[in-house]
Amino acid sequence: MHLLLTNDDGISAPGLLALKQALEPLGQVTVIAPSRNYSAAGHRKTMHKPLRIDAARLDDGAPAWVCSGAPSDCVALALLGFVKEKVDLVVSGINPGPNMGQDLTYSGTVSAALESVIANVPGIAVSAEVRDDADYVQPGRVAAAVAQAVARHGLPPGIALNVNVPAGVVRGIRFTRQGWSIFRDRLVERLDPRGRPYYWIGGDRPTGLTDEGSDFWALENGYVSITPLQLDLTAHSALPALLDWKLDYA
């Protein structure tokens, strides 16, 4: 199996190194990661300037590639031809902090896995509750188990897996649905030395509704959450009501 690894925290992130070390027993591993942190970059694709890829090494001396673009750029470049060997699976992570609820729309980690789905290659995004580098060991083992399962069973076309691993003792694995985040954002306005206003989006740390079967519920109760994701954002349940609308566009 040939695995392509990336992340949204940059080439030197400890989660990427832990992911590589956990997955390298499964087969050939190629690492292409951003040169800087792209957290919350979403499904960004660089179209207005050239992209560059340079040889690099991870902290354990393993060869890697560093890209000037976002996580989705790393995957797109690899699958469009920069990587000559066929890629069987793309794994993105390990992100230090869960990606659940509406955070999925912001996450560069998740976007990298979805970019692979666009290219008809299975994708997995791995995130975890971590406090220090030692906390990446368990998520690495989970990532390896999920990767092996995908290799055995495959995934339906257009589907990626979003994996979130709790801290502490793991009680098991649950296949979940995307939960609902509760944001407490507020706009912070300040003045620069010239008296011009500038802004931060601040606020308390978001939480989520822990209704049973959701990703938030799983982590709250000590389970690994695995949520299948799709790129089709159509609200199919809303279509019948919309068909009754009488729109006058004259």
Peptide bond into 11 cis (omega under 30): no
What's residue 247's pLDDT? 87
The tokens for 48 are: 């207005």
What's residue 249's pLDDT? 80
Q: What's the domain range around 73?
A: 2-181+209-231
Does pLDDT of 244 surpass 80? Answer: yes
Is residue 95 in a domain?
A: yes
Is residue 141 in a domain?
A: yes
Is residue 197 in a domain?
A: no
Give 23's strand partners: none
Q: Pick from 161, 182, 176: which is nearest to 218 by CA?
A: 176
Does pLDDT of 250 surpass 80? Answer: no
Which is more confident, 45 or 206?
A: 45
**pLDDT-wise least confident of 61-75, 154-168, 236-250:** 236-250
Band (202; pLDDT cuts 50, 70, 90): confident
Is residue 245 in a domain?
A: no
Is residue 196 in a domain?
A: no
**Mean pLDDT calculated for residue range 143-152:** 97
What's residue 139's pLDDT? 97
Beta strands 2-6 and 89-96: pairing type?
parallel
**Mean pLDDT calculated for residue range 139-166:** 96
Is residue 237 in a domain?
A: no
User: What mean pLDDT value characterizes the chain?
Assistant: 95
- C-alpha distance from residue 20 to each of 53, 82, 112 (Å): 19, 19, 16
Give helix 14-23 / helix 137-153 axis angle, nearest 10°.
Answer: 50
Question: By CB neighbour count within 10 A (0-12 exposed, 13-18 middle, 19+ buried), where does 82 fall?
Answer: middle
Does pLDDT of 246 surpass 80? Answer: yes
**Mean pLDDT calculated for residue range 87-100:** 96
CB 187 within 8 A of CB 201: yes
Is residue 240 in a domain?
A: no
Q: What are phi and psi of 122, to 5 degrees?
A: -60, 145
Band (134; pLDDT cuts 50, 70, 90): confident
Is residue 51 in a domain?
A: yes
**Mean pLDDT calculated for residue range 14-31:** 97
Instruction: For 23-74, write each residue's pLDDT tens digit.
Output: 999 999 999 999 999 998 999 999 999 999 999 999 999 999 999 999 999 9
Give me the CATH number covering residue 61: 3.40.1210.10
What's residue 131's pLDDT? 86
Does pLDDT of 94 surpass 90? Answer: yes
- Domains in the chain: how many in total? 1
